[in-house]
Amino acid sequence: PLFSRAIVKKISKSYVNGLTTSNLGKPDYDKAVAQHEQYVEALKKCGLEVIVLEADESFPDSTFVEDTAVLTSNSAIITNPGAESRNGEIKEIREVVKKYYDKLEEIQSPGFLDGGDVLQIDDHFYVGLSARTNREGAEQFAKIQKKYGYETTIVPLEKFFHLKTGVAYLGNKDLVVAGEFVDHLVFNDYNKIVVEPVEEYAANCIRINDYVVIPKGFGDTKQKIEAAGYTVIELDMSEIQKQDGGLSCLSLRF
Ligand code: CIR
């Protein structure tokens, strides 16, 4: 998939008090900021123009911009994030996205949807039903995408936080899968690159132009992705992981 731009948002001081289920402890703010800066550098190395939004103290989780919109080559959908403390994040994102798209679509209550639950594979979307995305939200999403010629498959999640916590598409039919997706029938038509349970966090990786960006410290997964023919960039994500975030969550690529 070819991308030319990314939207990211700086980490606020309130970040350390954001939502999390990870039990990995409180993130170190300075370290988190440094990791975010390296993330931005990596996006640039991948050839993207990076649009950097300022931090917003009133939204601790707002650095995870992926959850607020779904951008494709022909449409932009502003989501309706399922966590109450995050829902207001869409206000700023709507204004920013508007500059790049003529017309915005939106998910509306009682439908809820987080972008982290949306995986695009060519002209097909997979949408996870999670604690953040409900069936009504997923169905609204499917109906919107249908207008643009895209199909959608709804995938109820068993354990994963978001759909993309456990699956990433690299292109060329190569799919990185972990946990409940390893044997999931819905992904049987793809070449599965299987992430071992101890490396599960590495399943959230991102293909950007000539590179695959993966979290640092997951050697087995790195080797498998390289063996499949990809050039890997590794990034230290420790302070992001503590808040349940992954590589995909930190940007909107389009
Ligand atoms: C949250 O709970 O919403 C944030 N702490 C983490 C969001 C991660 N986003 C993503 O996986 N797309």
> Could you give the CA distance from residue 185 to residue 156 in angstroms, rounded to a whole number?
12
HEC profile of 164-225: HHCEEEEECCEEEECHHHCCCHHHCCCEEEECCHHHHHHHCCEEECCEEEEECCCHHHHHHH
Contact (Cβ atoms closer than 8 angstroms) between residue 254 and residue 3: yes
pLDDT digits 0-9 by tens, 50-62: 999 999 999 999 9
Say which residue the tokens 């123009």 belong to.
49
pLDDT digits 0-9 by tens, 14-30: 999 999 999 999 999 99
249 CA to centre of ligand 1 in angstroms = 7
Region 102-106: mean pLDDT is 95
Nearest to 33 by CA among 2, 5, 54, 12: 12
Region 229-249: mean pLDDT is 98
Is position 36 annotated as part of the catalytic site?
Answer: no
Strands 211-215 and 231-235: parallel
Is 70 exceeded by the pLDDT of residue 89? Answer: yes
pLDDT of residue 1: 63
- Ligand 1 surroundings by CB, under 6 angstroms: 18-20, 61, 64, 66-67, 83, 86, 116, 162, 165, 243-246, 249
What does pLDDT average to over the chain? Answer: 97
pLDDT digits 0-9 by tens, 120-173: 999 999 999 999 999 999 999 999 999 999 999 999 999 999 999 999 999 999
> Could you tell me the pLDDT band of residue 2, with boundaries at 50, 70 and 90?
confident
DSSP-based three-state secondary structure for 234: strand
pLDDT of residue 162: 98
pTM for this prediction: 0.97
pLDDT digits 0-9 by tens, 178-195: 999 999 999 999 999 999
Say which residue the tokens 């790049």 belong to.
100
Is position 124 annotated as part of the catalytic site?
Answer: no
Q: Which protein residue's CA is at the shortest distance from atom 12 of ligand 1?
A: 116
Among residues 36, 162, 184, 205, which one is catalytic?
Answer: 162
Say which residue the tokens 């700086």 belong to.
10
